[in-house]
Structure 1
Amino acid sequence: MKTMTSTLALAGLAVSAGGAFAQGQTLTINSFGGAYEEAHRECVITPFEEATGATVQIVTAYSADAFAQLRAQASAPQFDVIHFSGGQEIVGAEEGLLSPIDPAALENAGNLYDFARTNLEGGEGPAYSIAAIGLVYNEETAPETPTAWADLMDGTYADHIVLTDISNGYGMLGFLMLNQVQGGSLDDIQPGLDAVSQLLENGAFVVSTSPEIQQEFAQNDAWIAPYASDYAYTLSSAGLPARFVQGEEGTPASFITANLVAGRDNQELATQFIDRTISAEAQACFAEALRYSPTNSTVELADDVAADVVLGAEAVEGLIRFDPIKIEENRSDWVDQWNRTIAR
């Protein structure tokens, strides 16, 4: 991994300049637990604390739960910086829950791909990592390598398919892609539900969390699961023969963002934390630790890491992002329909 000297120097100066007033201050953020939270500490939190003297307090909360807390606490929010992976920043900005960010206040903003900084002034925080959603498969036991989302419907895989509940963000994106391939849209998810019914009849099964996927691959002869590139790396790091492939019909993606919460007093310090998050150093660290795709165009990765991520402006811009507002508007109804489908 190459050092991005000039960019990191600028980021370091920005944080160091705030060190004096940050001493003794506390920022409250959410993180996503498990391996992600470990990487979050290594790549962003600990270096930020060491550089500024501030303390970062972590509340473990996934995107949907964190957003629900943000809404409930609108008059007195607990978070200074809030992280989302399901597009909740778009809704939060519209509802006035997030503060605008002046791009000039972020030393690293100019290095982000355009899509990663589209509406900073409107309150949507920058995207700092991307998880591609495709097919995680067992390269030793799967009878053939899947190449397309449509392969999920191939009886060859039958009772060796693991689906993830759509209360899980990655599970939602995988389902919406399956729905699209089956002829559905965000206005009609019935084709996807019909496909899920067929898969369950053929012996597929549903899990709710990432660790359950690992258990199925390790203990129950799972061959294929629609899920994220970073988790394929988690499985392979655990010694499992798991690999990731993008479906030829397209690759949906989860855009992970860092957002400035409205109504908090220490927004300058919080903005510095966001700037650290979008730095080339932090993004390279996330890519190495978890195989997330960077959004900072100056990031350079070792060949083995680069091979596992979606890298470069053209490749990243070709990813599919389902309308987060539409998802948020329909989430409760879709989960209800999903639950009825899998309960049959």
Structure 2
Amino acid sequence: MATRLRWARGATAALIAACSVPALATPTLYLGSYGGSTQDLFQKKIIPAFEANHDVKIVYVPGNSTDTLAKLQAQKSKEELDVVLLDDGPMYQATQFGFCDKLQDAPVYKDLYDIARMNANATSVGVVATGLVYNTEAFKKAGLPKPDSWEVLTDKRLHQKIAIPPINNTYGLQTLLTYARLRKGSDHDIDPGMTALVKEVGPNVLAWEPSPGKMTEMFQDGDITLAVWGSGRVAALKATGFPVEFVYPKEGAPAMFIAACPVVHSDIAALSQQFVQFLLTPQVQAWLAEGQGWGPVNKNTKLTPQVAATVPYTPEQIDKLVKTDWTYVNEKRVDWTNRWNRTVER
């Protein structure tokens, strides 16, 4: 009896001791990415799907590419973010500055289009085209034909009815590069583009607007009827029922890739790598196409005809997109921005 009593007391003590050991905290992954509809999609679908299969809690830190890159710079050597999504231009800067960890090899990377392979530290996870968006009802009411060329930005009938993002936004920068080419310049000869934006396009521009929310508001209020924007943004606005259409100009549409990278010095490096790989799986690629209008970079992604019609999807479409020489552009961007501020947006 005494033996059994001592055993029971020992078992109870062991149980109490086991219960008193604090449970290990669930690791937290901090994701720096776009706000607005992108944040909604991640928080409603993508993040819950990843958390369901991994022991991790993801905290979403919204901000545009400039904001997120600034966070990386401010937190250098003591980074708080674990994974970031940026436009391709800022992402090339992030890798150049050493903010991104090397991508670990994984089978999913073999399924990507060659154009999606950025470098050893970052990968594209989606692609949109930079082109024209117009209010179909407003154009019809004004008796204007459907725009099919970048030259529509110079049409005097659209005086103060156009919005274009500024040069610190990829869409604005690519507008400058496009007009440089149209006026017999190039990425390496930007002068003709600057002159065209000041003298030909500028008088028609109501606002050099960086905010997606404000751009949407100006369309809905009737302040603008035409803008330079990305195919993904237009798909999101059109999904609300607003009468807009995206146009791939006949001269070509610059490609903007959405890129992801695992941040250096992460205390959950393996999970960060796995999350980047997760974004490239066909299921997530399809969600991003349907919910954000991001063309898939995984060749195995299957889209419905309705969704496929809204994004760069086929190999032929992707091959026809105009690439940006980000290595050169990023070297010149500060100088171009200063010049833009003195002349275009003076």
SS at match of 1:126: strand
**Could you report, residue by residue, the CA deviation over 1:205-245 in whole angstroms, capped at 9, with x for unpaired residues?**
43231222222212135221111111212222233210001
| Segment drifting more, 187-196 vs 32-41 | 187-196
Amino acid at match of 1:56: I
Aligned: 1:108 with 2:105: no
Q: In structure 2, what is the Cα distance between the partners aligned to 1:80 and 1:308?
A: 31
Residue pair 1:174, 1:227 contacting (<8 A) in 2 also: no
Quote how far apart the aligned CAs of 1:269 are. Answer: 1.0
Aligned to 2:60: 58
**1:132 paired residue among 116, 123, 129:** 129
**Could you report, residue by residue, the CA deviation over 1:3-32 in whole angstroms, capped at 9, with x for unpaired residues?**
xxxxxxxxxxxxxxxxxxx97111111011
> How big is the alpha-carbon RMSD for the aligned residues of Structure 1 and Structure 2?
2.0
Q: In structure 1, what is the Cα distance between the partners aligned to 2:335 and 2:266?
A: 33
SS at match of 2:156: coil
Structure-to-structure mapping, 1:25-44, within 5 angstroms: 25-44=27-46
Provide runs of 4+ in structure 1 moved above 3 Å.
Answer: 202-205
Q: In structure 1, what is the Cα distance between the partners aligned to 2:47 and 2:118?
A: 25
Q: In structure 2, what is the Cα distance between the partners aligned to 1:81 and 1:234?
A: 24
**2:26 paired residue among 24, 27, 46:** 24
Q: In structure 1, what is the Cα distance between the partners aligned to 2:184 and 2:45?
A: 41
SS at match of 1:134: strand
Runs of 5+ consecutive residues of structure 2 not aligned to the other structure: 1-23
Q: In structure 1, what is the Cα distance between the partners aligned to 2:317 and 2:259?
A: 19
SS at match of 2:88: coil
Q: 1:203 to 1:109 in 2, by over 3 A?
A: closer
SS at match of 2:157: coil
**2:337 paired residue among 330, 335, 340:** 335
Structure-to-structure mapping, 1:136-215, within 5 angstroms: 136-142=133-139, 143-198=144-199, 199-202=201-204, 204-215=206-217
Quote how far apart the aligned CAs of 1:40 are. Answer: 2.2
Aligned to 1:246: 248
Aligned to 2:326: 324
Q: 1:289 to 1:343 in 2, by over 3 A?
A: closer
Residue pair 1:134, 1:245 contacting (<8 A) in 2 also: yes
Amino acid at match of 2:108: N
Q: In structure 1, what is the Cα distance between the partners aligned to 2:204 and 2:102?
A: 49
Aligned to 1:19: none
**Could you report, residue by residue, the CA deviation over 1:139-173 in whole angstroms, capped at 9, with x for unpaired residues?**
12221111111222233333322222222222222
Which of 1 and 2 has greater Rg? 2
Q: 1:41 to 1:107 in 2, by over 3 A?
A: farther
Amino acid at match of 2:174: L
Q: 1:59 to 1:151 in 2, by over 3 A?
A: same
Q: In structure 2, what is the Cα distance between the partners aligned to 1:343 and 1:226?
A: 16
Runs of 5+ consecutive residues of structure 1 not aligned to the other structure: 1-21
Amino acid at match of 1:173: Q
Q: 1:203 to 1:126 in 2, by over 3 A?
A: closer
Aligned: 1:292 with 2:294: yes
Q: In structure 2, what is the Cα distance between the partners aligned to 1:57 and 1:163?
A: 32
Residue pair 2:262, 2:269 contacting (<8 A) in 1 also: yes
Q: 1:202 to 1:243 in 2, by over 3 A?
A: closer
Q: In structure 2, what is the Cα distance between the partners aligned to 1:159 and 1:100?
A: 46
Amino acid at match of 1:109: Y
Amino acid at match of 1:240: F
What is the aligned residue count? 318
| Segment drifting more, 229-238 vs 85-94 | 85-94
Q: In structure 1, what is the Cα distance between the partners aligned to 2:196 and 2:65?
A: 27
Q: In structure 2, what is the Cα distance between the partners aligned to 1:212 and 1:280?
A: 32
SS at match of 1:39: helix
Percent identity of the aligned residues? 30
TM-score, length basis structure 2: 0.85
Quote how far apart the aligned CAs of 1:203 are. Answer: 5.7
